[in-house]
């Protein structure tokens, strides 16, 4: 029988009000961008702002089928983000397992390196990355940009996955090893099913970080490989800024992120809370 006292009505109303205000502050830029994407340039520049206007799809036609189409850039973003995510998870899962379970001489130093890479300012790495890629011919290529994305996504994924592996009870692994399952079979058949929620949420975060990345893409990309975050700057020039087309491009760029968030929200919540509900793991 639940004996917890119910939340007082005024406090409950206050919590809902605070949550509503926070949601409104977050959602208003997206809502305003969506409205702007259906306006003409004249309506965009109208003062006071026009809330009632005749919507148009001309901006979407231009950014999809016109001379300023961002569809090739969406393809570039998809290719780079998918490659970076796949390679990151391929290396991050065994690396995180090794750091959580194995004992090796450089374990402490490796852990410090993984943590330190999260503190480095990305702007300080652009020039070295540019010079290295220039020497090996990796500028404006999918391979070059994917490797650079690995340098910041791999430490992040390892750092996030280690906590999930540590939350798996050590007794489960020891029982499998006593049955002569072997380290790799134990990892595949025993450990990974227990941390699939963490792997799912890490995969989603890595993909979203790669999709939204701008700083490395604008410097290390070019005409052949130009992600959508960079391509949207085609609508900004010294003479004018095409706000309506820029908003339409932003909506298209955000669409995959929103879809992934909607379909994967259950996995994200489960993955983020798995460490709080599991017990018995090694500390």
DSSP state of 189: I
Neighbours of 69 (CB within 10 A): 16
Torsion sign over Cα 161, 166, 167, 173: positive
Kindly state whether residue 113 falls inside one of the protein's structural domains: yes
* Stated pTM of the model: 0.83
Radius of gyration over every alpha carbon of the chain, rounded to an integer in angstroms:
24
| pLDDT per residue as tens digits for the range 70-89 | 999 999 999 999 999 999 99
| pLDDT per residue as tens digits for the range 96-129 | 988 888 777 777 777 777 777 777 788 888 999 9
Kindly state whether residue 8 falls inside one of the protein's structural domains: no
Torsion sign over Cα 38, 40, 41, 45: negative
Kindly state whether residue 283 falls inside one of the protein's structural domains: no
Cis peptide before 153 (omega within 30 of 0): no
Confidence of residue 140 (pLDDT cuts 50, 70, 90): very high
DSSP state of 188: I
CATH number assigned to the domain comprising residue 158: 1.10.3720.10
* Strand segments (E) across the chain: none
Kindly state whether residue 3 falls inside one of the protein's structural domains: no
Give how many domains the chain has, as a whole number: 1
Kindly state whether residue 90 falls inside one of the protein's structural domains: yes
Average pLDDT over the chain, rounded to an integer: 84
Kindly state whether residue 212 falls inside one of the protein's structural domains: yes
Kindly state whether residue 196 falls inside one of the protein's structural domains: yes
Is the per-residue pLDDT at 256 higher than 70?
yes
Residues spanned by the domain of 254: 68-277
């Amino acid at each position: 029988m639940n004996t917890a006292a119910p939340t007082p009505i005024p406090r409950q109303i206050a919590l809902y009000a605070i949550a509503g205000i926070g949601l409104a502050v977050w959602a208003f830029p997206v809502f305003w961008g969506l409205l702007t994407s259906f306006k003409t340039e004249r309506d965009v520049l109208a003062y006071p702002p026009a809330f009632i206007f005749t919507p148009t799809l001309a901006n979407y036609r231009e950014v999809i089928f016109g001379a300023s189409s961002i569809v090739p850039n969406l393809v570039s973003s998809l290719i780079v983000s998918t490659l970076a995510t796949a390679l990151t998870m391929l290396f991050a899962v065994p690396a995180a397992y090794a750091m959580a379970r194995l004992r090796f001489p450089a374990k402490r130093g490796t852990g410090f390196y993984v943590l330190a890479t999260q503190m480095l300012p990305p702007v300080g790495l652009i020039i070295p990355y540019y010079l290295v890629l220039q020497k090996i011919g990796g500028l404006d290529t999918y391979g070059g940009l994917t490797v650079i994305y690995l340098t910041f996504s791999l430490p992040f994924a390892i750092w996030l996955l280690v906590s999930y592996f540590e939350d798996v009870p050590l007794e489960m692994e020891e029982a499998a090893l006593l049955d002569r399952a072997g380290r790799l079979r134990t990892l595949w058949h025993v450990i990974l099913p227990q941390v699939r929620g963490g792997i799912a949420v890490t995969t989603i975060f890595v993909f979203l970080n790669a999709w939204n990345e701008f700083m490395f893409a604008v410097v290390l990309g070019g005409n052949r490989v130009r992600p959508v975050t960079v391509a949207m700057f085609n609508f900004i020039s010294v003479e004018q800024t095409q706000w309506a087309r820029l908003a339409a491009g932003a909506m298209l760029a955000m669409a995959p992120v929103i879809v992934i968030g909607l379909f994967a929200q259950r996995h994200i919540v489960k993955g983020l809370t798995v460490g709080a509900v599991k017990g018995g793991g090694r500390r």
